[in-house]
Amino acid sequence: MKRLLVVVSVLIIAFSTLGFAPASAVASAPAAPAQADKKYEIVMVAKMEGVSWFDDMRVGVEQFGKDYNVNAYQIAPDTGDPAKQAQMVEDLIAKGVDAILVVPNDPKSMEPVLKKAKEKGIVVVTHEAQALAPIVDYDLEAFKNEDFGVVMGKALAEAMGGEGKYTGFVGALTMETHMQWFNAMQEYLKKEYPKMEFVSKQPYEDNNDEKAAYAKVQEILKTYPDLKGMFGNSASSTTMEGLVMKEKNNKNIKVVGLSLPSMAGEYIKDGFIQQAQCWRPADAGYVSALIALNILKGEKITDGMDLKKPGYEKVILDKKIIYGNAPLILTKDTVDKYDF
C-alpha cells in the first residue's frame, strides 16, 4: 500500500509540474509526413493555445503550407508559460525540424534555446521580439511600434473632437510593445492636440485579465466623472471598456484601442467603441513562414522586397528586423470582413 502511495504521489507531482505541454504538442502536431518526400518542416511556436489571435495565426501558417507545399504547422503551450514554450522549442530542435518560428512570451528566457537552435543549423524567425533580432535570422514586425501608437492617438483625438480628459490601459508597464505604443501616442497627442489631457500619471494595467480590466474601467468612470475618452493598448482592456460602456449605456466617452474583430465587433457596431486597431495574425504567420522558406532555399531577404501579403508588399529591412506597414483599422463598416 505504502509503495503504491509513493508511486501515485510521484506520478501526480510529475504530472502537475510537467503540465500538459508535451501532450498538447503531440495533439496539435499533424501526423509526421512520410520520410520519402523531403518537404521542409516549418513550425510556428505561438504564445498560447485557445486565444482567437493565435487561432487566426494558425490559419495563415497552414495556408502557407498548402500554397508552398511544405509541412507548416503551429503549436503552443496551454498557458502563456515561457518555460513551457522554451521546452517546446527544445523538443523541436531534438526532432530536427528545418525552421522554427516563434512568438515568444518572454523574449529573454527564450534566448538560450534559440541560440541552440541556430547552432544546430535550424532557421529561426521571431515575431514581436525585436530584442532577439541579433541572435536569430530575422525578426518580423507588422509595423514600427511608434507608427502604430500614432495611429491609435490619431483615432482617439478624432473621436474626442481633439479635446477633453482621457486615460487608458496597457497590459502591464513592463510590456515593451505596449509601452512603445503608449509613449508614441502620448508624444503625438501632446504635440498635436494640446487641449487633450491625460488624467492619470501612468496608464492602468490589466495584466491581460478581462475581469481586472472590467473592474478598473468601472472605477475609472467614477473617479473621473468628466472623462471624455479611453484607450486600450491591450485587447482585453479595449473590449472591457466597450462592455462597461454598453452596460452603463454611456456613449459620451469615446473608446479606441487594440482589439480583434471577434472581441470588439459587436461594441464597434453598437457605437460603444469608435475604432479598434490590430494587425492580421494570419498574415504575420504567413509572412514569417515565407521568410523562413526563403532562407532555407538560400534566397536573400532585401529591403523593399514583396512578402506577398497586404501591408508587407514593400518591407523595410533594418539590420535584422523586418518591418511591414500593416496596421488593420476596424470600424463599423470594416469589422465584419474579418474572422478572428
Partner 1 sequence: MKRLKKYINQNEWYLMGIILIYSIIVTTQNSGFFTLENFFDVLKGSSGMIILAMGILVVLLSGGIDLSFTAIAMFGGYSAARLMMATKIDNLAFAFVVSAVIGILLGAVNALIIHKFHLPTMIATLGTSSLFSGIMTTFIGTKTITVGMMPKSLRAFGGFRLFEMVNDAGSTYGLTVFIIPVVIVVVVTWFILYKTMLGRGVIALGNSEEAAKRSGFNLFWIRMFIYTYVGLLAGIMGVIYVAEVNSVYAVALYGTELTYIAAVVIGGAKLTGGEGKILGTLLGVIIVRLLNSTLVFLGLTSSWNGFFTGAVLLFSVGLTSYMSRLRSRRNLTFTD
Q: List residues binding partner 1 (CB under 8 A).
A: 4-5, 8-9, 11-13, 15-16, 19-20, 23-24, 27, 48-52, 55, 78-79, 173, 200-205, 209-212, 214-216, 218-223, 225, 239-240, 243, 247-250, 252, 260, 262-263, 265-267
Pick between residue 68 and residue 73 the one whose CB is nearest to partner 1.
73
Q: How far is the CB of 213 from partner 1 (least distance, A)?
A: 9
Pick between residue 285 and residue 324 the one whose CB is nearest to partner 1.
285
Q: How much of the chain is helix, strand and coil, in % rounded to 5? A: 45, 15, 35
Q: How far is the CB of 227 from partner 1 (least distance, A)?
A: 10
CB atoms within 10 A of CB 295: 18
Q: How far is the CB of 26 from partner 1 (least distance, A)?
A: 10
Pick between residue 105 and residue 294 the one whose CB is nearest to partner 1.
105
Contacts of 203 (CB under 8 A, 6+ apart): 167, 168, 169, 170, 173, 182, 233
Distance between CA 309 and CA 286 in Å, rounded?
8
Count of helices and strands (H, E) across the chain = 11, 14
Q: How far is the CB of 299 from partner 1 (least distance, A)?
A: 36
Pick between residue 87 and residue 294 the one whose CB is nearest to partner 1.
87
Contacts of 162 (CB under 8 A, 6+ apart): 193, 195, 196
Q: How far is the CB of 164 from partner 1 (least distance, A)?
A: 14
| 258 beta partners | 277
Pick between residue 35 and residue 249 the one whose CB is nearest to partner 1.
249
Q: How far is the CB of 198 from partner 1 (least distance, A)?
A: 12
Pick between residue 13 and residue 83 the one whose CB is nearest to partner 1.
13
Pick between residue 48 and residue 135 the one whose CB is nearest to partner 1.
48
Q: How far is the CB of 288 from partner 1 (least distance, A)?
A: 21
With beta carbons less than 8 A apart as the criterion, state whether 166 and 160 touch: yes
With beta carbons less than 8 A apart as the criterion, state whether 169 and 176 touch: no
Residue 204, CA atoms < 13 Å, CB-side half-sphere: 26
How does DSSP classify residue 203?
Answer: -
| 322 beta partners | 140, 317
